[in-house]
Amino acid sequence: MVIVTKGDLIWIEPPTKNQFACPIGARVIDSYGGKIKVIDDDNREQWLPAEQRIRIMHPTSVQGVEDMIRLGDLHEAGILRNLFIRYKQKLIYTYTGSILVAVNPYMDLPIYTAEQIRLYRNRRIGELPPHIFAIADNAYTNMRRTGRNQCMIISGESGAGKTESTKLVLQFLAMVSGQHSWIEQQVLEANPIMEAFGNAKTIRNDNSSRFGKYIDIHFTGNGAIEGAKVEQYLLEKSRLVSQALGERNYHIFYCLLAGLSAAEKDELSLTSPQDYYYLTQGKMLEAEGRNDAADLAEMRSAMKVLMFKDAEIWQIFRILAALLHIGNIKYTATILNNMEATEIKDKAGVTRVAKLLQVDERSLVNALTTRSLITRDERVVSCLSAEQSLDIRDALVKGIYGRLFLYIINRINEAIYK
């Protein structure tokens, strides 16, 4: 039997039963006839029946701790409550030994200044409150001390803040290396380019990375950054041709339409996002908190830092515009030689795409409406149905964008990998 008094903090059974349910914290506010009245962590008041199992909360779970190894209630409920308490106090970082748990605050916090970087430099983990800079400094210091490679794994579900954490680690390393060199600037400027082409608004996250990346940072014997290399994998190509309700395509398309000058848009035959099939399926043309026009200007500036030539940047824009126009191509079913076939009525649209991609118009039409099978002795061309042609159209767009993304990553590496 557990004896409690008014003001005690206890663990009570969850209000609902499912696979994610776990005990929650509550404060005793009254008792009568063997029952106790509590107010739980979600501010719900309730009378608990005498038969309900309760447990006294350990003192470490009452106010929360910076390192969860010190928790007396070392179970799922204790961990969740500790993170919840600290989150309400705008303390988004918590240790579990040498592991840092970060809870996305979805707001700007004044804890990433140059002064904060200096504060966490050459400090052991635990000397100061938990922080992403402490983890970055620990890796940097160990590398300098031992001369051995260090690794930081940033993992979490969509919207957890992995992209921002990566940028903060790079910001810290660039500053503490102390050289403030051109290569450090180039490493930092790679981020807005990768975000533009590889990130998108999802239901859970307005700047969700839709690809995985592995970043190698190379240092001199004196601890200065001398280069970096980015490896990308698992780009979500399906997003190019289909988005869930409330989501967007990749940022770069909206940035292009918002940030290009009227003359540039006219040269690419571009108009507004609502005019393109590939941008409207999610019925979400804007992302709260993002300025697409400003983002394009930032990306173009970053590309200059990373040695992209003006003509090269314009060629990339031509390809992106062509992909939008390809998405607007419509097919009409027809019969050719007693077989199901398809044709493209919008000849002007095909001409526009061929001009932007600098390919032969007839070859483009054939690629979008026919299939070629090459055997040992001959080449057999067969017509596609309208439905099959749509699949081919989408596959072409995914293939081109995938190659373009890989090209951009390779160009970034050419600039920063020494």
Is 158 annotated for ligand binding? Answer: yes
Is 272 annotated for ligand binding? Answer: no
Quick check: 82 and 130 in contact, CB under 8 A?
A: no
And the tokens for 320?
Answer: 């992106």
Is 283 annotated for ligand binding? Answer: no
Is 355 annotated for ligand binding? Answer: no
Is 77 annotated for ligand binding? Answer: no
CA-based nearest residue to 101, from 111, 87, 114, 115: 87
Quick check: 313 and 300 in contact, CB under 8 A?
A: yes
282: alpha, beta or left, given left = phi > 0 and alpha = psi -120 to 50? alpha
Reported for 371-379, long-range contacts at CB under 8 A and 24+ positions apart, including other chains, are: none
And the tokens for 316?
Answer: 């990339």
Is 26 annotated for ligand binding? Answer: no
Is 163 annotated for ligand binding? Answer: yes
Cα distances (Å, whole numbers) of residue 378 to 208, 372, 375: 47, 10, 5
Compute the Cα dihedral for 192, 197, 198, 201 and give only its sign. Answer: positive
Is 162 annotated for ligand binding? Answer: yes
Backbone φ and ψ of 67, nearest 5°? -120, 115
Residue ranges at the known binding site: 156-163
Residue ranges at the known binding site for ATP: 156-163
